[in-house]
Structure 1
Amino acid sequence: MRWYPLKLTSFYAPHIFGGRQIEQVLGRQGLPKGRVAESWESSDIEGKGARVTNGELAGESLHALVEQYPESLVGEGFDGPHFPVLAKFIDATGMLPVHLHANGPTARRKQTWSHGKTEAWHILHAAPGATLLAGVRDGVDHDTLRKALLEDRFDDVMHRIEIRPGDTLYVQAGLLHSFGPDTLLYEVQQQADHQQHAMGWQMEDGSEISHEQREDNIDALLEEIDLSLQTVPSTPLSIREAPGVERRFCCAGPFFALERVLIDTTYTRPIDRATLISNLGSPFTLQANGEEVPLERGESVLLPAALGEVTLEGRAEVLMSYVPDLEALTSSLEGAGFTSGELARLGDIEGVEPL
């Protein structure tokens, strides 16, 4: 197999909380008409999976490539069965439902998925004074939380957190959360699609949920919640790798890492694990294994591990998401002078989350 940078189809979710920010704020072109709440950039979810759109592999599904070439695509030692990281642009023009995602042991026990859904949010746009809800207040037990959720008294039992563009929040599976309105973010998460939510309306179209069904939904949510979990916004840890290249480490854990990289020169970067590059700035060209691939604003491209390296040409601002070697990442950041406390802000640098 002669590997090259892979452009993929996106899955677009028209949920009720969405708008047109992915087009109007981010600059992404070619979106479907109407609400676009989410654009899934590297999906390996059945029925919503990505396919290659360029080169010799055009038409192949991401899932088929993972099955056939797990180590060449994702990295040494990887054996599937799904591509590990799902990245999304999420338009929270309206408020998302208050919800959570199960961790691995809970998902397997309830037979909803083979693993959990930890995620992180990198804020791209937030109106002045924008906030989100994340984590349950100290002293709130299950009964108190259940009653408050049924009565839409979210602020009585959850933390409301002010956010700004450039913030990143690491959201472990089992943590109760919501965000919006007036927010646009990039989410990187485990490749999974399960949730429990507490609202009186359907996320897909806003239609009303019966009181009985809502009670059942909240009871299911309470079976999966971890009341001890919290999160706070963090600013990235920045390294000047070379003149004209700044790497901003936004988050890191056992399932994914996220960097925001600012480039004002030609930049060649080693690649030994699958890396998704999403363009936040002006169009530019990347080169790998003799192939040139242009990347428009708001577009993403997947770099297979077997490429070895990639070169970005021209001024660029990109997000890079990948499954990290946590030991090597920690060593690199410690060598740059960051303390253990600063590293802890990245999320779960010790890699102790339930799988």
Structure 2
Amino acid sequence: MIHPVKLSPNQPADRFYRGGPRISEFRSGGAHGSHVPEDWVASVTTLHGEESLGLSRLPTGELLRDQVRRHPEAWLGRAHVEAWGADTKLLTKLLDAGQRLPVHVHPDADFASRHLGVAHGKTEAWVFLRGGTVHLGWRFDIDEVELRRWVDDQDVDAMLAAMYAIEVSEGDAVLVPAGTPHAIGEGCFIVEVQEPEDLSILLEWVGFDIDGPSEGHLGIGFDTALRAVDLRGTSGEDLTTALVRRRAAADGAVLPPAANQFFRADRVSRGAHLPPGFGIVVVTGGTGEMRWSEGAMALVRGDTVVLPADAGEVEFGGEVSAIVCRPPVA
């Protein structure tokens, strides 16, 4: 039987945007530098173009990816494997924005398959541990010629003026469908759950540690890459109704319903039960424990744990609170 495993920080260095101190403080350790803004939790995904960077290791030193490939039913469950094989369908990160991230988009699965030869797009969602301002979606329809001019001229003021600026607080969640322009604001600290690919198309790069004209288009050129951008505008009410979910007092699902086809995220606390299945636990507060049929594990704020389906039903006790990220239902 495979048991739940507590994981060490997994923080790729030298990212092109700055991080802050919050991951190190939250995790009571790990890397702390100006360009270490992410912790890839229970990752079986590499950074774009890398062979192994981004992959999580178990305490034994073995890659989690390799364990899942060898024992897919034990990790993912029979129904999941029958539907998707050994694909976890999931990547979870901690992200601490030391500066506003650039305006960018992620391709959807169809675009990623046709132009990049990969299995997933990159729809993502953010659960906020510390709030701030995010930019999301177009306020009106955008002409593709105008968009290209903004990118070529790096007219960031025009881009941001065409987007919604949304204030978010701790516990709020935002869904970012593939193709939607977005930028996370400085000071935001989030649990990010997403499809398991590292695919970003930059619309903005001035002031960031990256050569945007050569690296911002995933190697396919901006003529092709910008076709991944959804140019449709929407009303503020429609956008917030579909993509923003304010924190609820009760445990349970934290993401807008449209996320369920891609991934799930639930807030849990004392007395919560999870059915068998693959999951990634981020302990957001308190102390307590997690129990399963053949064992238990003490939990404190900042812990991250990967749950195998083999563990069966899991129960949380004590004063712990956590976010649990899971694949879609098979």
- Does the 8 A contact of 1:286 with 1:310 survive in 2? yes
Find the residue that maps to 1:134 and give its secondary structure: strand
The alignment status of 1:162 with 2:184, answered yes or no, reads no
Q: CA 1:145/1:45 → structure 2, altered by over 3 Å: closer, same or farther?
A: same
Contact 1:285 1:293 in 2 (8 A): yes
Q: Does 1:318 align with 2:319?
A: no
Alpha-carbon distance, 1:229 to partner: 7.3
Matched, 1:110 2:111: no
Which secondary structure does the structure 2 equivalent of 1:95 belong to? coil
Task: Name the residue aligned to 2:6.
Answer: 7
Residue 271 of structure 2 corresponds to residue 282 of structure 1 = no
- In 2 relative to 1, CA 114–106 (structure 1 residues): closer, same or farther, beyond 3 Å? same
- AA at the equivalent of 2:163: M
Residue of structure 1 equivalent to 2:58: 52
Identity across the alignment (%):
27
Q: Distance in 2 between matches of 1:193 and 1:112?
A: 13
1:175 match: secondary structure: coil
Q: Give, in whole Å, the separation in 2 of the partners of 1:218 and 1:163.
A: 31
**Hey, which of these two has a bigger chunk of helix by percent?**
2
Q: Secondary structure at 2:79's aligned position in 1?
A: coil
Summarize the Cα distance change of 1:313–1:201 in structure 2 as closer, same or farther, 3 Å threshold: same
Q: Which moved more, 1:281-290 or 1:98-107?
A: 281-290
Q: Look up the match of 1:243.
A: none
1:64 and 2:66 aligned: yes
Distance 1:268 1:155, change over 3 A: closer
SS of residue in 2 equivalent to 1:67: helix
For residue 290 of structure 1, report the CA deviation from its aligned partner. 2.4
Distance in 2, matches of 1:164 and 1:37, equals 20
Shift of the 10–28 alpha-carbon distance from structure 1 to 2, 3 Å rule, reads closer
Q: Which runs of 4+ in 1 moved over 6 A?
A: 212-216
Unaligned runs of 5+ in 2: 47-51
> What residue identity is the alignment partner of 1:4?
H
Find the counterpart in structure 2 of residue 309 from structure 1. Answer: 313
d(CA) in 1 for partners of 2:310, 2:150: 51
Letter of the 2:19 partner, please give it: G
- Residue identity in the other structure for 2:21: R
Structure 1 residue ranges without an equivalent (≥5): 240-245, 327-355
RMSD (Å) for aligned C-alpha atoms: 2.5
C-alpha distance after superposition, 1:294-345 (max 9, x if no partner): 223111111111211123221111001112438xxxxxxxxxxxxxxxxxxx
- 1:138-162 CA deviation, whole Å, 9 max, x = no partner? 1321112222332222223222222
The answer as to whether partners of 1:10 and 1:43 remain within 8 angstroms in 2 is: no
Kindly indicate whether the alpha-carbon contact (under 8 Å) linking 1:97 and 1:198 is maintained by their aligned counterparts in 2: yes
Letter in 1 for 2:104: H
Distance 1:145 1:262, change over 3 A: same
1:202 is displaced (CA, Å) by 7.8
Q: Is the 8 A contact 1:63 1:82 kept in 2?
A: no
**From 178, 186, 193, the counterpart of 2:191:** 186
The correspondence for 1:255, drawn from 244, 256, 262, is 262
User: How many residues end up aligned between the 2 structures?
Assistant: 304
Read off the aligned partner of 1:234 and give its amino acid letter. R
